[in-house]
């Protein structure tokens, strides 16, 4: 038998439970191992290897923990290694180069830098792969989810709100990681998380409801770029549902992402495969869920290997899957292993190229990244600082002496906080410091005694008076997130059976240092870190333990007794300084992070009080925001002369901030996400339709605090000579940028466009090109930006494809989306959109607009497609600019899941016909209704007016 024929025979062999095969000693006599022949195409090598594997061996390759096949010399393999900010290991023995947070990298607007960082990440992954060759090469990152809401708990992981910017930056990052060899890859980057994944609340079961246009133009677009044009070889699906179907079984994985974009393989998010049964309830058994995942294009399950294997056996036995389905999924992931050179030794150049970690070169590039992501939001001339030799600078605030890590952060071999960065340049004697934290004591209501820190760190309510061992720094991050740090040893109070002051920093998946205060009279009780109701309670021996939630009895009540007010102390220090650097922001492991969205955009109350007091004490106060996300800083804008923003930028944070404040680094970063004035300017976080809800800078008409693309410089620039020229592959724009200042600086030239007379609602402005340009002082430089046609495309629902619409466009060059310096209008060649052809079957999902109290798209497993549905109050779907050719009937596929419903068909305002929809067995139990129509000729909007709860799938006129 040939290897291909054996693929048909092997299922029969294994369903007979061939003992030899089950034991792994099944061999193919007289067959050379063609899968080791490096002269063959990878697809041929994969086919040969598949032909040699037993069915049992194959199903053990369906999870991220892929078992070895020793008889063929195939080793154990792990899929997955985080790479959001460079290679991520949380072990101190595995240091790596820790980049700034991705939202900060996006603000650099510098794809060249991103490619360099990608090379560093890939090289360091190879370094650790050589130490442990079981994995480390199929990397999880970057996160490319468009961030249409800054309250998302994982905002720091993404690249902002604009899909074009996301695509350009992550294309460069993945290309740097993967390398440029035509066959092999240094590593395989995996994009996260496909798609419409921008909330943490109920993420395991919620549904992101979006239209095809929003999907293709916004959410999908961010992923497409680096798959088609970058180094991406894999993609991770999201936890959420997409219009009712779990993301890991979205049909577009197979039909679009693989067949059209050419992606190699797809993996689920952590434990998401099993959550189809446990959380989404989309299927009754894991076997059914696995079949749906594999048949729709998913290949690798990030769940326990034994559970995945059991589900595969069950699915095969029940006929839900065939061995061909298994082969397809396993073959896709194996092709990745071949491209990584796992079986090829020195034939793969990345198996032999030099690979080191945390080198001086890597540190130098990383320092450049930290400087490039410094974003000057506001400046009335105080920056850069002009200090006298004996000037005193006060660094004040909770972020002044910290280098916090978020969850997707590796371990750096060094760290320079802001305080140290300034002291290195100005001298320790000239830089004062106060963290601004208040000092408190913790008193038991039941006994009146104060909690004291024992020699081993254990807290006991045993002291009659307050001394050093009874005092704690109060870290209050708001929204029920509080920590206590013992003054006597500098350790955080954490739950370790009893509560002890023994933790260096809050950094684990579960933050055991998290205290959840709940006021009760003049006292409060504290919830513990557990995500279930637990109280901290006094025990008979005076220790504190977490117990089941109960009544607020005295043993569960405590008082935070003030010892020293941190705001008053910090204000006193501010008076002693010539200038204050006020460092405020977030702790990236608390309040907002994976699993937790941010309830508001405001600074913590303690930090706002600190800001007001310090400014009153010293008006020469520069606010440095160190944060994973934007804040509402309207009050700070009014009170303070300057605001500098940086993300948690890794070990070079302090150096980069100091260089920027002192003028050695001229800031040029731009906001990749809008900074709103208030959370009241945002709709519900679950509103994913950015077009109808007018979300992001693309559609929002509300004036923000800082618009997309905003960022100031110490230099001043003038734009002129803006021209456009149409080329076969796109549009070529030229302009001149002049630096009119005495200081060299980078200018980020941004190019936006707007379709002036589109068929449907299009963005108010949309980024289509950008370039970070170094411009010497008093010098003019020419700038050329090429805009490929794909950057101007939108999704035409009438033809179900992306295209460039012919017509008049306005192109704008500026320093931000709101700071436009030059504009021109021109006609763009493209496609003329014809009227809708109603004689073709139209899927309801491709409507142009909808009206009603609640109208959503849902997924039908019967049709493997989406359909529209209304609630009890009904609504309407409109299909604009339709061609009515005197049709006399309509064929409508519809269902009424609760009771009788009605559908009326209109051409403009003229009703052509109607029908009653009879009660059905389910939402997608569609029946065909033939509806007589009054003849109408001409172009008009087709509107379906629905009364009652109804589901509508397709309509066709004839």
Task: Let me know whether 469 and 512 are in one domain.
Answer: yes
The mean pLDDT value for 892-911 works out to 94
Nearest of 157, 675, 623, 648 to residue 369 by alpha carbon: 648
Write the CATH number for 400. Answer: 3.40.50.1700
The answer to whether residue 370 is domain-embedded is no
Average pLDDT of the chain is 94
The mean pLDDT value for 675-682 works out to 98
Q: What are the backbone angles phi and psi of residue 206, rounded to the nearest 5°?
A: -75, 165
High-pLDDT (> 70) share of the chain, %? 96
Residue 784 CA to residue 343 CA, distance in Å, equals 45
The answer to whether residue 785 is domain-embedded is yes
Q: Give kind and range of the element (H or E) at residue 139.
A: strand 138-143
The answer to whether residue 640 is domain-embedded is yes
Q: Residue 193: its pLDDT value, please?
A: 97
Classify 95 as helix, strand or coil. strand
The answer to whether residue 366 is domain-embedded is no
Half-sphere CA count of 831, side-chain side, radius 13 A: 16
Task: Let me know whether 472 and 575 are in one domain.
Answer: no
The answer to whether residue 22 is domain-embedded is yes
Contact 161, 100 (CB under 8 A): no
Residue 510 CA to residue 494 CA, distance in Å, equals 11
Q: Secondary structure of the chain: what % helix, strand, coil (to 5)?
A: 25, 30, 40
* Number of domains forming the structure of the chain: 6
Task: Let me know whether 449 and 530 are in one domain.
Answer: yes
Residue 12, pLDDT above cutoff 70: no
Q: What's the token pair of residue 365?
A: 């590039």
Report the chain's terminal Cα–Cα distance, integer Å. 54
Contact 709, 813 (CB under 8 A): no
The answer to whether the peptide bond before residue 142 is cis (omega within 30 degrees of 0) is yes
Task: Let me know whether 799 and 868 are in one domain.
Answer: no
**Boundary (domain end) residue, out of 221, 241, 270:** 270
**Boundary (domain end) residue, out of 519, 541, 564:** 564
Residue 28, pLDDT above cutoff 60: no
- Provide CB contacts within 8 A for 360, sequence distance 6+: none
Write the CATH number for 872. Answer: 2.60.120.260
High-pLDDT (> 90) share of the chain, %? 91
Contact 697, 743 (CB under 8 A): no
Task: Let me know whether 238 and 348 are in one domain.
Answer: no
- Provide CB contacts within 8 A for 432, sequence distance 6+: 392, 393, 394, 395, 573, 576, 577
Write the CATH number for 525. Answer: 2.80.10.50
For the whole model, what pTM was predicted? Answer: 0.94
Task: Let me know whether 343 and 480 are in one domain.
Answer: no
The answer to whether residue 695 is domain-embedded is no
Residue 173 CA to residue 637 CA, distance in Å, equals 34
Task: Let me know whether 92 and 210 are in one domain.
Answer: yes
pLDDT tens digit sequence for 392-410? 999 999 999 999 999 999 9
State whether the Cα torsion 161-162-167-169 is positive or negative.
negative
Task: Let me know whether 393 and 476 are in one domain.
Answer: no
* DSSP bridge pairs for 96: none
Task: Let me know whether 610 and 555 are in one domain.
Answer: no
Classify 894 as helix, strand or coil. strand
Task: Let me know whether 390 and 296 are in one domain.
Answer: no
19 burial level (CB within 10 Å; 0-12, 13-18, 19+) = exposed
pLDDT tens digit sequence for 594-633? 999 999 999 999 999 999 999 999 999 999 999 999 999 9
Task: Let me know whether 142 and 263 are in one domain.
Answer: yes
Q: Give kind and range of the element (H or E) at residue 653.
A: helix 653-661
Task: Let me know whether 183 and 258 are in one domain.
Answer: yes
The mean pLDDT value for 795-823 works out to 98
Q: Residue 384: its pLDDT value, please?
A: 99
Write the CATH number for 770. Answer: 2.60.40.10
Classify 199 as helix, strand or coil. coil
Residue 186 CA to residue 119 CA, distance in Å, equals 9
Residue 911 CA to residue 904 CA, distance in Å, equals 7
The answer to whether residue 681 is domain-embedded is no
Write the CATH number for 116. Answer: 3.20.20.300
**Boundary (domain end) residue, out of 305, 321, 355:** 355
Q: How do strand 579-585 and strand 393-396 relate by DSSP bridges? A: parallel
The answer to whether residue 944 is domain-embedded is yes
pLDDT band at 9 (very low <50, low <70, confident <90, very high): very low
Range of the domain at 654: 376-435+567-672
Residue 51 CA to residue 55 CA, distance in Å, equals 10
């Amino acid at each position: 038998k040939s290897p291909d024929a054996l693929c048909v025979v092997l299922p029969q062999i294994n369903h007979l439970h061939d003992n030899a095969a089950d034991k792994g000693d099944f061999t193919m006599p007289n067959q050379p191992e063609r899968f080791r022949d490096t002269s063959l195409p990878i697809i041929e090598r994969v086919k040969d290897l598949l032909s040699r594997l037993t069915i049992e061996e194959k199903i053990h390759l369906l999870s991220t923990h892929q078992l070895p096949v020793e008889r063929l010399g195939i080793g154990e393999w792990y899929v997955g290694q985080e790479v959001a900010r460079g290679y991520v290991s949380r072990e101190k023995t595995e240091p790596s180069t820790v980049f700034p947070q991705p939202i900060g990298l996006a603000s650099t607007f510098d794809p060249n830098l991103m490619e360099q960082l990608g090379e560093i990440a890939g090289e360091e992954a190879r370094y650790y792969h050589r130490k442990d060759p079981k994995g480390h090469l199929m990397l999880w990152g970057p996160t490319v989810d468009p961030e249409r809401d800054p309250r998302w708990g994982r905002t720091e992981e993404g690249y902002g709100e604009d899909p074009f910017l996301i695509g350009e930056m992550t294309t460069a990052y993945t290309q740097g990681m993967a390398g440029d060899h035509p066959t092999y890859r240094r590593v395989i980057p995996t994009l996260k998380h496909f798609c419409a994944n921008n909330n943490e609340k109920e993420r395991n079961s919620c549904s992101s409801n979006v239209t095809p246009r929003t999907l293709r133009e916004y959410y999908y677009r961010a992923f497409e770029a680096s798959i088609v044009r970058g180094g991406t070889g894999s993609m991770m699906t999201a936890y959420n549902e997409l219009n009712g179907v779990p993301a890991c079984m979205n049909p577009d994985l197979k039909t679009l992402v693989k067949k059209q974009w050419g992606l190699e393989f797809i993996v689920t998010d952590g434990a998401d495969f099993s959550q189809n049964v446990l959380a989404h309830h989309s299927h009754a058994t894991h076997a059914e869920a696995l079949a749906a995942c594999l048949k729709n294009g998913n290949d690798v399950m990030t769940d326990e290997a034994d559970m995945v294997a059991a589900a595969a056996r069950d699915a095969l036995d029940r006929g839900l899957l065939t061995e061909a389905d298994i082969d397809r999924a396993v073959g896709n992931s194996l092709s990745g292993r071949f491209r990584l050179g796992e079986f090829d030794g020195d034939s793969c150049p990345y198996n032999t190229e030099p690979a080191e970690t945390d080198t001086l070169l890597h540190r130098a590039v990383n320092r450049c990244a930290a400087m490039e992501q410094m974003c000057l939001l506001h400046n009335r001339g105080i920056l850069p600082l002009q200090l006298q030799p004996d000037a005193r600078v006060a660094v004040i605030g909770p972020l002044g002496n910290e280098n916090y890590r978020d969850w997707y952060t590796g371990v750096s071999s060094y760290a320079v906080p802001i305080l140290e960065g300034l002291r290195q340049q100005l001298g320790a004697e000239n830089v004062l410091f106060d963290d601004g934290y208040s000092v408190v004591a913790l008193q038991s209501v039941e006994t009146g005694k104060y909690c004291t820190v024992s020699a081993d760190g254990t807290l006991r309510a045993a002291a009659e008076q307050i001394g050093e061992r009874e005092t704690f720094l109060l870290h209050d991050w708001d929204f029920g997130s509080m920590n206590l740090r013992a003054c006597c040893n500098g350790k955080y109070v954490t739950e370790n059976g009893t509560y002890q002051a023994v933790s260096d920093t809050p950094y684990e998946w579960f933050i055991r240092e998290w205290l959840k205060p709940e006021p009760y009279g003049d006292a409060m009780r504290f919830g513990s870190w557990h995500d279930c109701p637990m109280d901290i309670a006094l025990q008979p021996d005076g220790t504190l333990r977490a117990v089941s939630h109960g009544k607020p009895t005295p043993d569960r009540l405590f008082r935070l007794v003030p010892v020293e007010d941190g705001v008053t102390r910090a204000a006193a220090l501010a008076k002693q300084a010539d200038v204050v650097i006020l460092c405020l922001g977030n702790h990236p492991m608390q309040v907002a992070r994976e699993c937790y969205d941010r309830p508001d955009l405001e600074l913590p109350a303690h930090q706002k009080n600190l800001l007001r007091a310090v400014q009153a004490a010293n008006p020469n106060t520069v606010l440095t925001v160190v944060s994973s996300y934007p804040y509402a800083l309207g009050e700070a804008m009014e009170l303070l002369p300057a605001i500098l923003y940086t993300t948690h930028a890794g070990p070079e944070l302090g150096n980069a901030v100091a260089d920027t404040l002192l003028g050695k680094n001229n800031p040029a970063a731009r906001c990749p996400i809008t900074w709103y004035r208030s959370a009241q300017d945002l709709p519900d976080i679950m509103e994913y339709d950015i077009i109808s809800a007018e979300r992001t800078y693309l559609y929002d008409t509300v004036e923000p605090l800082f618009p997309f693309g905003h960022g100031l410089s110490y230099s001043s620039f003038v734009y002129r000579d803006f021209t456009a020229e149409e080329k076969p592959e796109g549009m070529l724009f030229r302009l001149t940028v002049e630096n009119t200042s005495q200081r060299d600086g980078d200018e980020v030239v941004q190019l936006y466009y707007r379709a002036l007379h589109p068929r449907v609602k299009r963005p108010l402005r949309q980024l289509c090109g950008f370039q970070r340009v170094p411009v010497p002082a008093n010098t003019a430089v020419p700038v050329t930006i090429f805009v490929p046609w794909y950057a101007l495309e939108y999704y035409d629902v009438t033809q179900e494809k992306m295209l460039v619409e012919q017509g008049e466009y306005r192109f704008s060059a500026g320093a931000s989306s709101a700071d436009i310096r030059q504009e021109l209008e021109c006609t763009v060649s493209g496609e003329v959109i014809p009227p809708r052809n109603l004689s073709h079957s139209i899927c309801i999902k491709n409507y142009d607009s909808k009206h009603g109290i609640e109208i959503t798209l849902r997924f039908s497993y019967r049709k493997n497609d989406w359909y529209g549905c209304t609630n009890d109050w009904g609504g309407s779907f409109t299909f604009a600019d339709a061609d009515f050719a005197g049709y006399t009937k309509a064929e409508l596929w519809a269902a009424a899941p609760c009771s009788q419903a009605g559908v009326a068909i209109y051409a403009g305002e003229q009703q052509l016909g109607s029908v009653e929809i009879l009660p059905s067995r389910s939402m997608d139990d569609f029946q065909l209704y033939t509806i007589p129509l009054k003849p109408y000729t001409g172009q008009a909007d087709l509107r379906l007016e629905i009364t009652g709860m109804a589901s509508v799938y397709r309509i066709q006129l004839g």
